[in-house]
Structure 1
Amino acid sequence: MITYIGTPQIETNRLLLEKFVLSDAQKVFDHWISDERVTDNRVSAAHTDVSQTVERVAGIVSQYEKEDFCYWAVKLKDSGELIGEIDLYDFDEATGNCEVSYSLGYRWWNQGYGTEALRAVIEFGFRHMNLHKVAAAHNTDNPASGRIMSKVGMVQEGIVRDMIRNSKGQYKDCAIYGILEGEYFSKGDGF
């Protein structure tokens, strides 16, 4: 049975994962959600006006009262700069499984931040939420995301053809990854 505890702050070597606040909207807009280099890897289109982002962040903030809502702002610990987001979602009570997704601003790609944030959220899920499996997917034309998943011990389980349709109407194949609780604990903290 999944143990829900909401969105507590998580600290890593270089990052703080914490709840969004309404005043984050401008930085979300500026740092990733208006950047097509980032949003091409998401289902939803790039925001063209900050009011769209304000509405989105307000929607996230309004759900923090729910214990089964796990959605973090990813911030650099030393500067407090907001660089991305990561969430656990689509919880299945029958199996104890869920999914994870993440986005980082382009400026912070290829610096290990995605790996660090994903590792922390997976650890949180297995150690504190009693999850059985955490799954993720990435567009096959975004192999860097697959490398992040592999670095944290996730295993590619297959490819789903035309799994998503992006905002430009293009269908995209997605690689599906997963890690089981038993795999996580058998690999220890050093994976």
Structure 2
Amino acid sequence: MINYLGTPVIETDRLLLRPLKQSDTQSIFYHWLSDERVADNRVNAAHTSIAQTEERVKKIVSQYKNKEFCYWGIELKGTGELIGEIDLYDFDSSKDNCEVSYSLGFKWWNQGYGTEALQAVVEFGFRQMNIHKISAAHNTDNPASGRVMAKVGMKQEGVIRHMIRNAKNQYKDCAVYGILREDYLKSVCM
């Protein structure tokens, strides 16, 4: 049974995973949501106005009172910069499974921040929430995201053709990954 805990602050060596605030809107817009390079790996188009981001952040912030809502901003501890977001979603209480997704601003790609954030959220999901399985997917033309998933112990389970259609109306194949709680616990105990 899933133990829903909402979105508590999670600290890692370099990061602070925390609930987003309305005052984060400008950073979110400029650091990743308005960037076409980031949007190319997301389902939704890049934001073209700060008003779009403001509305999105307002919707996220309004859901924090719900214990089944797990959505973190990724902040650098050293500078306080907000560099991305990560969330657990699509909870299936009949199987105790969920999915995870994340986005990082382009400036912070290939520096290990995605792996560090994902590792922390996977650990939280298994150790604190009692999740049975966490799944994720990435566009096959974004293999770096698959490497992040593999580094935290997720295994590729297949490829789903034309799983998403992006904002440019292009269908994209996605590699699907998953990790079971029992496999995660075995790997950290070794």
The residue aligned with 1:92 is 92
Q: Are 1:154 and 2:154 an aligned pair?
A: yes
The residue aligned with 1:163 is 163
Between the two proteins, the alignment pairs up a number of residues equal to: 190
Q: Are 1:183 and 2:180 an aligned pair?
A: no
Root-mean-square deviation (Å): 0.8
Q: How far is the alpha carbon of 1:189 from its aligned partner?
A: 6.2
| Alignment TM-score, normalising by the size of structure 1 | 0.98
Deviations 1:131-165 (A, max 9, x none): 00000000000000000000000000000000000
Moved over 3 A (4+): none
Q: What amino acid maps onto 1:169 in structure 2? A: N
The residue aligned with 2:4 is 4
The residue aligned with 1:83 is 83
Aligned-residue identity in percent: 68
Q: Aligned partners of 1:175, 1:165: CA distance in 2, in Å?
A: 14
Q: Are 1:73 and 2:68 an aligned pair?
A: no
Uncovered stretches (5+) of structure 1, i.e. residues with no partner = none
Q: Aligned partners of 2:58, 2:149: CA distance in 1, in Å?
A: 29
Q: Aligned partners of 1:189, 1:169: CA distance in 2, in Å?
A: 45
The residue aligned with 1:173 is 173
Q: How far is the alpha carbon of 1:78 from its aligned partner?
A: 1.2
Q: Aligned partners of 2:57, 2:114: CA distance in 1, in Å?
A: 20
| Alignment TM-score, normalising by the size of structure 2 | 0.99
The residue aligned with 2:60 is 60
Equivalent position SS for 2:13: coil
The residue aligned with 1:24 is 24
Uncovered stretches (5+) of structure 2, i.e. residues with no partner = none
